[in-house]
Copies of this chain bind each other. A is one copy, B any other.
Amino acid sequence: MANESSTDTSTDTATDRRRATIWEVAKAAGVSHQTVSRYLRNDAKMRPETVARVRQAVEELDYRPNLTARSMRTRRSGRVAVLLPAVATYGPPQILSGVMEVAHEHGYTVEAFSVEGTPADRFERVRELADSGQVEGVLALAPLPPGSGGRFPERAAIVVSADYDDKFRGVGELADGSPVEDLVVRLAELGHRRFLHVTGALDYASARGRRDVFVATVERLGLGPAQVIESDWSAEGAHAAVLSLPEKDHPTAVIAASDVGAAGVVLGARERGWTIPGDLSVTGWDNNQLGAYLEPTLTTVNVDHRKLGRAAMARLVATLQPETAAAREAEAASDGPLNTIIWRGSTGPAPS
């Protein structure tokens, strides 16, 4: 509403007032340009008096190093590219916050790219970026085609393809499906014996991860062959899955791969006359804010997206600067839990 929006400074001011160069600073300080350069790079071997003179000149002229010139000479751009999926319908910005935090902490600036299309398209884009020499590294927050790992015979840029998929659902070491194990174990303690997992779209690595953990856990607990119905994150898919269940000996606990899917499960259960959590316990994933206001309130998994982003960029930085690998360790060590389960009203003891 206020008119503070859309402000442009007069372009002429911009043009004629050029920033001072290292030479001008040198002249003002009565030293050589190289001495100024030393000052900028914090070279230890300078007389305090000289340092002071340069410092003053820098301040008077409001000098700032031209990073373009610097990076031309040093052949280091100090930039990393982050590839974001273009079509993310879900995908918290906190992940990007975490990414930027770590990048800036290590002196990198972040260039954002988005890319439409298939994983193959993305792969091509990443190659291009890595090959362009514009950036030192590429962090792909969208999945690349399976097996593209070894296929980066490119130049300067190093690629870390993080384990995220199109919807920013984390998988792999960063955010694996392990909470599924906790969910199943706890529900088993509550007496549940027949479990069902309604998956996300299985071309998503995270969906596969959750399914795999589910299957492994159910079998480990000796709860018979795991029941899995493939779906696609949507409520409709989960809804249909519930309707397809047999009336007799139907599952009493459903692990959905998303909150939206869980909502579909609840809807389907209602239509079949099953009460929740009386006849059926349901869990979701994502901690959607409205989950606490569903009827019943929804048990879900909360994901610390910022931490996810931090870990991803820490990995890239560690690859770029092996000597700073300590950073990555530190990052890994700073673990509070990445995922926490929030138990609410949609889960309860198994029906007797």
Distance A258 CA – B87 CA, assembled complex (angstroms): 24
Nearest CB in chain B: distance from A91 CB, A = 5
B319 A290 Cβ-Cβ under 8 A: no
Interchain CB contact (< 8 A) of A4 among B88, B89, B144: B144
Distance A153 CA – B7 CA, assembled complex (angstroms): 11
Given A91-B93, A153-B13: A172 in contact with B8 (beta carbons within 8 A): no
Given A4-B161, A84-B93, A97-B84: A155 in contact with B13 (beta carbons within 8 A): yes
Judge whether A56 is part of the interface by a CB distance below 8 angstroms.
no
Judge whether A111 is part of the interface by a CB distance below 8 angstroms.
yes
A293 B315 Cβ-Cβ under 8 A: no
Q: In the assembled complex, which residues on chain B have CB atoms less than 8 Å from the CB atom of A11? A: 158
Distance A152 CA – B8 CA, assembled complex (angstroms): 8
B266 A293 Cβ-Cβ under 8 A: yes
A9 B267 Cβ-Cβ under 8 A: no
B112 A172 Cβ-Cβ under 8 A: no
For window 139-159 of A, CB contacts with B under 8 Å fall at 144, 146-150, 152-159
Q: In the assembled complex, which residues on chain B have CB atoms less than 8 Å from the CB atom of A156? A: 14-15
A290 B4 Cβ-Cβ under 8 A: no
Judge whether A44 is part of the interface by a CB distance below 8 angstroms.
no
Judge whether A1 is part of the interface by a CB distance below 8 angstroms.
yes
B290 A259 Cβ-Cβ under 8 A: yes
Against B, the Cβ 8 Å flags (1 = close, 0 = not) of A82-101 are 10101111011110110011
For window 196-236 of A, CB contacts with B under 8 Å fall at 205, 208-209, 212, 235
Closest Cβ neighbor of A164 among chain B residues = B5
Distance A104 CA – B83 CA, assembled complex (angstroms): 14
Judge whether A133 is part of the interface by a CB distance below 8 angstroms.
yes
Judge whether A113 is part of the interface by a CB distance below 8 angstroms.
yes
Judge whether A19 is part of the interface by a CB distance below 8 angstroms.
yes
Closest Cβ neighbor of A86 among chain B residues = B97
Interchain CB contact (< 8 A) of A158 among B8, B79, B101, B259: B8
A5 B161 Cβ-Cβ under 8 A: yes
Residues of A within 8 A of B (CB): 1-9, 11, 13-15, 17-19, 64, 66-69, 71-72, 77, 79, 82, 84, 86-89, 91-94, 96-97, 100-101, 104, 109-114, 130-134, 144, 146-150, 152-163, 168, 171-173, 205, 208-209, 212, 235, 259-260, 263-264, 266-267, 288-295, 315, 319
Q: Please give me the 5 A-B residue pairs with the lowest Cβ-Cβ distance, nearest first.
A: A4-B149, A263-B293, A290-B290, A295-B295, A7-B149
